[in-house]
Amino acid sequence: KQEVTQIPAALSVPEGENLVLNCSFTDSAIYNLQWFRQDPGKGLTSLLLIQSSQREQTSGRLNASLDKSSGRSTLYIAASQPGDSATYLCAVSMRFGAGTRLTVKP
Amino acid sequence: GAVVSQHPSWVICKSGTSVKIECRSLDFQATTMFWYRQFPKQSLMLMATSNEGSKATYEQGVEKDKFLINHASLTLSTLTVTSAHPEDSSFYICSAPRAGAADTQYFGPGTRLTVL
C-alpha cells in the first residue's frame, strides 16, 4: 500500500522568500503525482500534475519535480506571497500526504 | 476545463437519519470515481472506489453497509451515509479521473456533513 509523507508539517515564512515543500512515497511504481492546495474549509485546487515519465512541471511561480527512484517530489514556490498561504497536499495513486500548512507573512 | 460537482455542499441532519451525497462529472464520462473523507485539520482519506456497472471497492476499515456507494451512470456516483451519527460528521470529497488527460484527478468542491 502506497504511503505518502510530507515534510514539513507546517511552515511560516516572510513574504518574498523562496521555499520548498517535500513529498515522499514508498512505492515507486506510480502513474502520476499531483500537488494541490487547500484553503481552510474549502475543496482542493490542482496545482501541478507530473506524469511518471516526467521529471518536472512548472506553472508560474510553482515548480514541481519528481524523482521516482528515490520516491520523492518537491514543490518549489518562488517569491512567496500572502495569498500562497494554504495547506499543500501531495497525492500519489489516490493516497494523500498529511499536507504542509504554509503561512506567508506580509 | 473538466469540472466535478457535488451536491449538497453542506448538510445538517439528525442522528439516525441517512444522507445522500451526489458526485457528478459535468463534461466528461467517468467509469471510476473516488470518495474521500477529511476530518478537521487532517488530510484526505480514501474511503472507496466507485465503479460504474459493478460494486464499489472499499478501503480497509470502511464499513460498506454504512457508506453505500452507487455509480448510477457514467457521470454520477452517490454516497449514502446510513444511520448517521455525530462521528460521521466530516468533509466528504469525490474525485474523478479524466481519461486522456494523464488521468488527472478532478475533485469536487466537497460536502460538509454535520450530524447532530
Total Cβ atoms within 10 A of residue B34: 23
Rounded mean pLDDT, B55-74? 94
pLDDT at residue B116 is higher than 70: yes
Does residue B59 sit at the A interface (CB-CB below 8 Å)? no
**What's the CA gap between A105 and B75, in Å, rounded?**
42
pLDDT tier at B2, thresholds 50, 70, 90: low
Helix residue spans in chain B (DSSP H): none
pLDDT confidence of residue B103: 64
Rounded mean pLDDT, A2-27? 95
Rounded mean pLDDT, A24-43? 89
Direct distance between the N- and C-terminal alpha carbons of chain A, in angstroms, rounded to an integer: 41
- For residue B98, give the nearest of B43, B5, B19, B29 by alpha carbon: B29
pLDDT at residue B101 is higher than 70: no
The pLDDT tens digits for B6-55 are: 999 999 999 999 999 999 999 889 999 999 999 888 889 999 999 988 89
Rounded mean pLDDT, A59-78? 96
Selecting from A89, A95, A99 the residue whose C-beta is nearest the C-beta of B46 gives: A95
Query: A91 vs B46: CB contact, 8 Å cut-off?
Result: no
Which three cell numbers, joined as nine digits, stand for B25? 462529472
In chain B, the residue whose alpha carbon lies closest to the alpha carbon of A5 is B43
Percent of all residues in chain A with a pLDDT value above 70, rounded to a whole number: 100
Q: How far is CA A43 from CA A27, B9, B36, B44, in A?
A: 27, 10, 11, 11
pLDDT confidence of residue A80: 97
Give me chain B's average pLDDT, please: 91
Determine if the peptide bond prior to A8 is cis (ω within 30°).
Answer: yes
Rounded mean pLDDT, A30-39? 90
Partners of residue B44 in chain A, C-beta under 8 Å: 44, 89, 91, 96
> B8 near B111, Cβ under 8 Å?
yes
Selecting from B43, B45, B104 the residue whose C-beta is nearest the C-beta of A89 gives: B43
Report the residue of A23, A96, A100, A101 to disrupt the B interface, i.e. the one with the largest count of B CBs within 10 Å.
Answer: A96
- B99 forms beta bridges with none
Angle at B36 between CA B34 and CA B39, to 5 degrees: 175
> B96 near B30, Cβ under 8 Å?
yes
Least confident of A95-99, B37-41, B90-94: B37-41
- A4 forms beta bridges with A25
Q: Given the C-alpha cell 520548498, which residue does it identify? A: A20
CA distance A99 to chain B (A): 7
pLDDT confidence of residue B41: 80
